[in-house]
Structure 1
Amino acid sequence: MQGRKDYTEKHITYFQLSSRVPKHNFYHRLKETLDLTFIYEATKQLYGHTGNPSIDPVVFFKFMLIGCLENITSDRKLVEHCSMRMDLLYFLGYNIDELLPWHSTLSRTRQLYPEALFEAVFDKVFSLCVAHNMVAGRRVAIDSAPVKANASMERLLEKQPDLPGPRLVQAAADQNQVVDTIPPPSKRHAGSIITASDHQLKQLKKHQQNLKNAPPTSGASHEKAQLLSNKTHYSPTDPDARISVKPGKARKLNYHCSLAVDTAEGVISHVQADFADGRDSQCLPDITLKLRQRLAANELRLEEILADTGYSNGSNYALLEGWNITGWISVFGHYKPQIEGFSYDSEGDYFTCSAGKRLPFKNFVTYAETSLLKIYRADYQACQQCPLKSTCVPKSQYRQIIRTAYDPFYRRALERQQSRRGKRMKKLRQRTVEPVLGSLVEYNGLRKINVRGKAGAHKVMLMAAIAFNLKKYMKFTTKSTLGQAIALKVECSLSSQDTCLGFGVLFLS
């Protein structure tokens, strides 16, 4: 006969979560492995001695870990999800009939705790991986990716010039209405003031005019989106968010996630949040410095850095060589080690043209938004009397060559890149750091920053990296080989009359 179960809700008289959650469950094992009791002492100074008790600091960080492990970015959904899972309740230390904290408590606590506390938790987990022989430390791969900010492109406002006194409204209906004077700098956010120089604004205006005159293409955004720039617009919702774009994708307000991954077992060694309008090469010195400090604290030494062309910079090459670090960083395609028709003498520091005229070094010069450059210039009389002047410099009085001051560092980097080992390092970087970035975005809650501000974005990225390292730590098993040595008696003939008895060793694994 057909059965039918009748459900009648009743009060539970005896129930233990520990007996209901299997010991092989991930969160059961994580609860026994991860010790976060040091957080109590680290957060003691953030609370007073009176008032209602706050959320347990360890419980808060466990909530943040669950959010990244379960790929949940909303605090409201996170609390609701934990209330329906017995293993999560056991990991948090809550009974099945005990109420969980409000979602707003998690948000306020995240804002209360400083970035240094999140970094301390990251260092704790990283030290566990080091003690488990998962980190070699000598070689890391670095890469970055944009992460969408919690702000909309549709609500951007135009920055105002930092000028005293009243200003006029630009609306057509209120041309004669005077607005209040601009508030003092202490009452304004830095993102609402134009900080770009005049020549940068002129270049931007020229670029936007070219966009207006260009013929429309299929799939192009509307005219307003084409004229937005970080130099002239900001987000009032999240002033730290910046406009950035990837080839083939729409422009968005993003943060910049920089990541360093150890090549031994793919453990994240460093992660940080940066402004999305900066170049990768600008972040490398800060990443390397903090990475060296973390590795030194764990008695490890950084020897090699693997990165793509975005980190190519003469000052970066010089910095890494000064720190005795080999940089396997691809040189950008515009760099040319040789100038056609000219030979270079490194000892005398001069160029020689095809006519045999020398172009010695004259002076250093720095142009706007460029690095330090070296000027090589031929003598005026030598160029005027040269028979090749009409084809070499028809409109100038002398020939001049401009090279970067870091040219020797570029040459050495290019030699490393073109070597056989350099090609292997490129493949190693691609299979090490790029899958980690994809995992953080797709499975560890880093598809979008659900908080506001660069500090909040840094905390979210740190928690995503902690969750990733913990998953690796829980799955990692030490690889060992069982070896045996057997002594074999060997008889060899030295001659027809003498014999020799020796012993050989055979290794079995």
Structure 2
Amino acid sequence: MQGKKDYQEKLFIRFQLSDYVPADNFYRRLRSILDLSFLYDSTAKYYGNEGQKSIDPVVFFKLMLVGYLENMNSDRRIIITSRMRMDILYFIGYDLDEELPWHSTLSRTRQLYGEETFTAIFKTVLKQCIDNGLVAGRRQAVDSVLVKANAALSSVVERQILDDAAGYGKELDAHTEKLSSDNIIHLPDHLSASQASAKQKPKPVNQARVSPSDTDARISYKPGKVLALNYLSQVSVDTSNHVITHIQAFHADKGDGQCLPEILTQTVNTLKENGLTVHEVLADSGYSSEPGLLALIEHQIEGYIPNRSGYKDDREGFTYDKEHDRYICSQGKYLTFRHFRAKGNGLHKLYKTSVSDCATCPLKDSCTNPSTGTKVIRESAIKDIYRQMQQRVQSSKGRKMRKVRQGTVEPVLGTLVNFTGMKKVNTKGIAMANKCMIMAAVAYNLKKLLKLKPSPNKNSKTKPSGSLDNPFYNLITRFHRTTNAFIATLLPFNRNGQTTFWSFAR
């Protein structure tokens, strides 16, 4: 007989969330391992002793985690989704009939707490990963990804105009009380300065233009990507089980090599707090820079970073004389060391010939600078370090480390951007962007903590019980598991109470 459901809402009902959230539910398991009670003491300084009660700090951070775990970067969507999910309500400690905080409370509380509070949560979860054997600490892979800022490219204006407008606003506020109704307000003379500077050399795009809605966002792009206002997220990942050991926001117009020293310092210190030491760092050629390589030496870390494309180990037509620190050209003339010169973030050594040496040279027209009549070679002051790095990268271990890096940090970045709500930040300013990135990394590590088991020790070669080093043992064992009764008839002989292939062969 056909059934028909007759639904009538009950006036009274006994209901307990814990009875309806399965034991293997993700959020139930997460609630059992995540202890954020320390937040009550660390956030007490942000509140007074009077007034209305604020949102519970533990509830706030759990709602933040829900956003990143569910790949949502909208506070409004977080509240709407949480209201409809029993497992999320159980995770944050709310009943069905309790009203959730207003979505604007989340954004205000995010601005209220300092970065140190978000970092403390990251370190707490990282320590749990370390205690569960998911982090070895020995080898770290570093890479970066552009994260869209919460500002449109169409909002960008000339920085001079923004500065002039801000200056004019201050002047107007300072003289408001002195102005009478008969006064005529004229724009200050310096507003026309942009016309005078139009003939000057154009500045780099991010020095000349800025977004008024987010002055920390920078115009940047990568090959195959659209030009946009972005932040740069630098991520350090442990290669053993792909757990994030550090994440930090930088301005998007900053090079990877410029960021490496700070990333190394933060990662080394964080792992040192947990008794782990970093021995190797893997990165791509974008991190090849003098500050980065010197930072590796300072921390006594062995790096595997390919030299940048412009690096030259040998100069065609010139031989380096290491004993006298000079170059010798094909005509036997010397390019002697003259002085150091800073270039970008590095220090270069300049080698130069004399005018008299090049005056009668048959290669003068193709070799020397026409304006000076001399030949100049610029070399990095740490050329030997670059050469050692090149040899290390080209070794068999170096080629292996390249594959390890690609298989470690790049999938992590893809997961953060596409599945953990880090494609775009929903905040303004680099400090707020850093908070968002930290919480995305916390959500990623929590997933690892709940799903990924520690990898077995590769050096361990324990043999299964009953193995007699017979090459066919594993095949017979597999077959025995699926056809237990049949194998028992094939192997009637018993050795020490255990049926083996060896006794059958015997």
Q: 1:73-152 to 2 correspondence within 5 Å?
A: 73-152=73-152
Distance 1:486 1:78, change over 3 A: closer
Is the 1:165–1:182 contact (alpha carbons within 8 Å) kept by the matching residues of 2? Answer: no
Alpha-carbon offset, residue 314 of structure 1: 2.1
2:321 to 338, 345, 350: 345
Distance 1:394 1:280, change over 3 A: closer
1:381 to 353, 356, 360: 356
Question: Distance between the aligned counterparts of 2:199 and 2:262, measured in 1?
Answer: 26
TM-score of the aligned structures, taking structure 2 as reference length: 0.82
Distance 1:352 1:90, change over 3 A: same
Question: Distance between the aligned counterparts of 1:12 and 1:446, measured in 2?
Answer: 43
Question: Distance between the aligned counterparts of 1:292 and 1:358, measured in 2?
Answer: 45
In structure 2, the residue matched to 1:359 is 335
| Moved beyond 6 Å, runs of 4+ | 161-167, 198-201, 484-488
Deviation per CA, 1:62-92: give whole Å up to 9, x if none.
0011110011111111111011111111111
Is the 2:335–2:352 contact (alpha carbons within 8 Å) kept by the matching residues of 1? Answer: yes
Question: Distance between the aligned counterparts of 1:428 and 1:479, measured in 2?
Answer: 15
Question: Distance between the aligned counterparts of 1:267 and 1:131, measured in 2?
Answer: 13
Is the 1:230–1:242 contact (alpha carbons within 8 Å) kept by the matching residues of 2? Answer: yes
Alpha-carbon offset, residue 165 of structure 1: 8.9
Distance 1:324 1:180, change over 3 A: same
Distance 1:89 1:366, change over 3 A: same
In structure 2, the residue matched to 1:412 is 388
Which structure 1 segments of 5+ residues have no match? 168-175, 184-192, 206-228, 489-509
Query: RMSD of the alignment, in Å?
Result: 2.8
Deviation per CA, 1:342-363: give whole Å up to 9, x if none.
1112232111112222222111
Alpha-carbon offset, residue 155 of structure 1: 1.6
- Please give the secondary structure, in 1, of the residue aligned with 2:207: coil
- Please give the secondary structure, in 2, of the residue aligned with 1:401: strand
In structure 1, the residue matched to 2:268 is 292
**For residue 5 of structure 1, what is the amino acid of its counterpart?**
K
Question: Distance between the aligned counterparts of 1:61 and 1:322, measured in 2?
Answer: 37
Distance 1:487 1:18, change over 3 A: closer
TM-score of the aligned structures, taking structure 1 as reference length: 0.82
Alpha-carbon offset, residue 456 of structure 1: 0.9
2:407 to 431, 434, 457: 431
Deviation per CA, 1:208-254: give whole Å up to 9, x if none.
xxxxxxxxxxxxxxxxxxxxx21222111111111111222221111
1:179 to 176, 182, 187: 187
Distance 1:201 1:238, change over 3 A: farther
In structure 2, the residue matched to 1:25 is 25
1:54 partnered with 2:54? yes
In structure 1, the residue matched to 2:252 is 276
Distance 1:165 1:33, change over 3 A: closer
Is the 1:314–1:409 contact (alpha carbons within 8 Å) kept by the matching residues of 2? Answer: no
Alpha-carbon offset, residue 401 of structure 1: 1.6
Distance 1:3 1:412, change over 3 A: same
In structure 2, the residue matched to 1:332 is 308
Question: Distance between the aligned counterparts of 1:477 and 1:203, measured in 2?
Answer: 55
In structure 2, the residue matched to 1:504 is none
**For residue 402 of structure 1, what is the amino acid of its counterpart?**
R
Alpha-carbon offset, residue 460 of structure 1: 0.6
Alignment size in residue pairs: 444
In structure 2, the residue matched to 1:449 is 425
**For residue 452 of structure 2, what is the amino acid of its counterpart?**
F
Question: Distance between the aligned counterparts of 1:200 and 1:16, measured in 2?
Answer: 73
Is the 2:72–2:421 contact (alpha carbons within 8 Å) kept by the matching residues of 1? Answer: yes
In structure 1, the residue matched to 2:64 is 64
Deviation per CA, 1:106-155: give whole Å up to 9, x if none.
11111101000000000000000011111111111111111111111112
Which structure 2 segments of 5+ residues have no match? 170-183, 469-506
Distance 1:386 1:134, change over 3 A: same
Is the 2:18–2:90 contact (alpha carbons within 8 Å) kept by the matching residues of 1? Answer: yes
Question: Distance between the aligned counterparts of 1:114 and 1:420, measured in 2?
Answer: 46
Question: Distance between the aligned counterparts of 1:69 and 1:262, measured in 2?
Answer: 21
